[in-house]
Chains A and B, each alone.
Chain A
Amino acid sequence: MDTSKKMVPLLRIAKFTFIDEVRQRSFVALFVACVMGVLLIRGCYHGNYQVNGQTVDVETIVRTVSKATFHMIAFGVMVIAALLSMRIFRRDRAEGTLSSVLSKPIERWQYVMGKIIGVWGLSALFMIILHSLVFLLTAISLKIFMPEVLVGSLLCSINLLFVVIALLLFSLLMPDIVAFLCITAVGISGFIADGIAAASKSQFVQAMVQQSAGQPQAEVTWWKIVYVLWPKLLGVQQVASSLMEGEVSHGLAAVYPLVNVLLYCLILGALLFKRFATEDIT
């Protein structure tokens, strides 16, 4: 009973945050542009593609294009979630919402949690709508059903949670734009590192390394530790997209990116609540 009572103001703050963001003209314009972009991709599904002189079948084309679109949407919405989150506290201060809400019997953790849920919910819905478009396009025009896109979309929303929490925390510690650039740098460097790691596992690169170094290096170095502990945003996306090809990997490799990002969410969330609890409200 007590818990449900505490949830009411929290959900109201989430609702107000959601509505305020949707009302922004820039948000509506962005949404329309993204929908148009996804609809334009439908042209890629038609046409003849040849690889090594062999014609590629329609289903392979659809799955490949859908997978690429899936990744683009997931990455793009992460950037949008970052843009939405970075100005939340600043705008609430400037518009008097912060002092207005916290002068009511609402605790600070409820306010922060409401903000997280509001922005996360909105960006996750944004992403699910775009992914649903991909699902509908393939289902209606090509009669290929890929419900895995939607399941993958839900998995990718973990990344959005990470971005929202990290940006809210960083925006309390530094100027908004710097916070945005920091999180973008974390994401991009993770993507690059994962790309290098994936390439280094290819037979071609391994053969090159063996030729130049004589024998493979297997020792643990500091950068390997950093790489393993770095936020695995691309890892989560890969786990999600692997569902689309039915190539779900089992064991630690499949679970680790999810655990990694969720742990980051917990740690950064705890730091965010701790920091906001001592914040002077103006």
Chain B
Amino acid sequence: MHVGNLLPAVGAFSHDQKRASVMIELKNVTKRYELLTAVDDVSFTVKQGECFALLGPNGAGKTTIVKMLLDFTRPSSGSLSVSGIPSTRAECRHSIGYLAENHRIPPSLTGWHYLLRCAELLDMKRSDAADHCRRIVELIGMQGREHTTVATYSKGMVQRFGLGAALLGDPKLLILDEPTSGLDPIGIREIRLLLETLKGQGMTVFLNSHLLSEVEKICDTAAIVNRGRLLVKDTISAIVTDGETLEDLFVRLVKG
């Protein structure tokens, strides 16, 4: 995967501007499913240009928060916004690129057609869409495989095309739900390098991951949730004290 200058231009704002404004805001968000409270009065913000990790054990409410950001499900109370636009409005998703955990693509399509479809849904003209998709295919390192059907792809390849689709349309915010799921160590490293490049270009990254060592390398800030509650949210350097790793902190907070 070559990340050099192939990336689409992301965010034409200055470093100071991107630091100053809020990209994601959650205000007292609660989500209840009959007997279960999946998210319990969670509030936090993610600034523009920040690489943020949402951490927590399985069933902690991480994916529910992501689903609420994308309006896949509505909060029982509280509000969420992206770039100041309520998450319930479709236009807020203009600035979002999303990669789902265990991303799936219709097996009858080729990777190329999948990217073209996603580009068309973003209202790109067909000629522009083709150019953009070509760049994305290079970016995700899938040249030569884009015209074979998805049924022949490995899980990692599907994940790469999913990431490529998320990068279409130059989003300002990239929401990645377990992006390294199904990838081998080399694939994981390539994704990390790509995220570092995107971060360098000013893109806000919202990362949902279990790979704490990778999170520690890439992210500026992190939040840990457990049983729907926010335990801590700060810069990684502030929450990880001397002699402790992020993994130690995670285990201490979740088990304690």
Contact = CB atoms under 8 A, between A and B. Distances in A.
B161 to A, nearest CB: 11
B96 A20 contact: no
B93 A16 contact: no
A97 B121 CA distance: 12
A8 interface: yes
Contact of B96 (A96, A97, A103): A103
B199 to A, nearest CB: 21
A8 B126 CA distance: 13
Interface string A1-22: 0000000110011001000100
Contact of B104 (A16, A96, A101, A278): A96
B13 interface: no
Label chain A's interface by main secondary structure: helix
Interface stretch (B19-27, B69-77, B233-241, B247-255): B69-77
Interface in A263-277: none
Interface stretch (B47-55, B105-113, B205-213): B105-113
Interface in B50-84: 67, 70-74
Contacts of A97: 106
A103 B93 contact: yes
A280 B98 contact: no
Contacts of A8: 123
A95 B96 CA distance: 21
Interface in B94-121: 94, 96, 98, 100, 103-108, 117-118, 120-121
Contact of B118 (A100, A107, A278, A281): A100
A9 B121 contact: yes
Q: Which of B100, B105, B107, B121 lies at the interface centre, i.e. has the most chain A CB atoms within 10 A of its CB?
A: B121
A99 B101 CA distance: 11
A104 B93 contact: yes
B72 A281 contact: yes
Contacts of B67: 280-281
Nearest to B73: A280
A95 B105 contact: yes
B108 A23 contact: yes
Interface in A227-279: 278
A188 B204 CA distance: 56
Interface of A: 8-9, 12-13, 16, 20, 23, 94-97, 99-107, 278, 280-282
Interface of B: 67, 70-74, 90-94, 96, 98, 100, 103-108, 117-118, 120-123, 165
